[in-house]
Structure 1
Amino acid sequence: MNIAEQIALRGELSITLHRAGQQPQTITEHNMIMTAAKSALARLIAGQGSGKNINRIAFGTNGVGPTPNDQTISSAYTKAVTAITFPAEGQVRFTFALGESEANGLNIRELGLLCTDETLFARKVRGLIEKTSDLSITGSWTIIF
């Protein structure tokens, strides 16, 4: 008898837009895990994962849909994640914030999770968010095994 177990790696991105004088707007969507993420995970579990831990989020301008082989976020504004938690068995959550004074003028169309060594782990393309000084963004990105 041949028994096989598959682990489906997926991600869920939740962002909340906080605009002065308006109710916060929360958007939750699935994202694409990049092919490079598999190599990063393989190195991590082999004890050879130097630089393969996720530590930043990137906000970028490329509105072209993701492909598994994507490697960069265009015109990226990057920030350290603010916290890492484990909300359930087989899940890791990265929280982040982009303040009112950050990345103003950036036409955000994509977000990405980055490893310490710049490996793009996950990417999400979405509708335009025009970053202005009256807008802050908070969010979380959950990777689910």
Structure 2
Amino acid sequence: MKENIVTKGSLEIIVKDSATRQTLERMSGDNLIVSGGIINVAKLLGGDLSGKSISKVGFGEGLADPSPQDNALVNGFYKNIDSVTYPSMSKVQFTFSLAAGEANGLKITELGLFNADLVMFSRKTRPEILKTSAIILTGIWTITIN
């Protein structure tokens, strides 16, 4: 029997040319699950009505390293998750996309997962992507519970 539960997140982002759909960049790495996300999960488990499932992804321009106290993105653009799947008993995957006409002009340096009330669950920083109509982004955010 396990006494400690470890939650880990990883993010894969693919940047594609919006006209040809050719992959321009692929990036993956672990993310930080923040304090607000842990509290939200505890509320979900306890049946507290203020706890809500993850339903949004956000793109922002923040430059600070991820911290457990993070709760918002700088100049954030938020949208609904495209789909949720369960590839194994201990994993949930959130797929998302950012279309050619969305968030143009945003200098994307951070991403986050959020519930419907924009309570942050996790955050990942990355080198800047200047979002223009010439590119689309797709991604898979995986949360693993061990």
Same fold (TM over 0.5): yes
Q: Which runs of 4+ in 1 moved over 4 A?
A: none
Q: How many residues align?
A: 143
Give the conservation status (yes or no) of the 8 Å contact 2:41–2:51.
no
Q: Which has the larger strand fraction? A: 2
- Partner-residue secondary structure (3-state), 1:142: strand
Root-mean-square deviation over aligned CA pairs: 1.5
* Superposition pairs of residues 1-145 of structure 1, within 5 angstroms: 5-19=3-17, 20=19, 23-24=22-23, 25-145=25-145
Give the conservation status (yes or no) of the 8 Å contact 1:40–1:49.
no
Give the conservation status (yes or no) of the 8 Å contact 2:54–2:116.
yes
TM-aligned CA deviation for residue 49 of structure 1: 4.2
TM-aligned CA deviation for residue 23 of structure 1: 3.7
Q: Which runs of 5+ in 2 are unaligned?
A: none
Counterpart Cα distance in 1 of 2:137 and 2:21 = 13
Q: 1:75 to 1:40 in 2, by over 3 A?
A: same
TM-score by length of 1: 0.93
Counterpart Cα distance in 2 of 1:41 and 1:87 = 20
Counterpart Cα distance in 1 of 2:126 and 2:141 = 14
Q: 40-49 or 9-18: which moved more? A: 40-49
- Partner-residue secondary structure (3-state), 1:57: strand
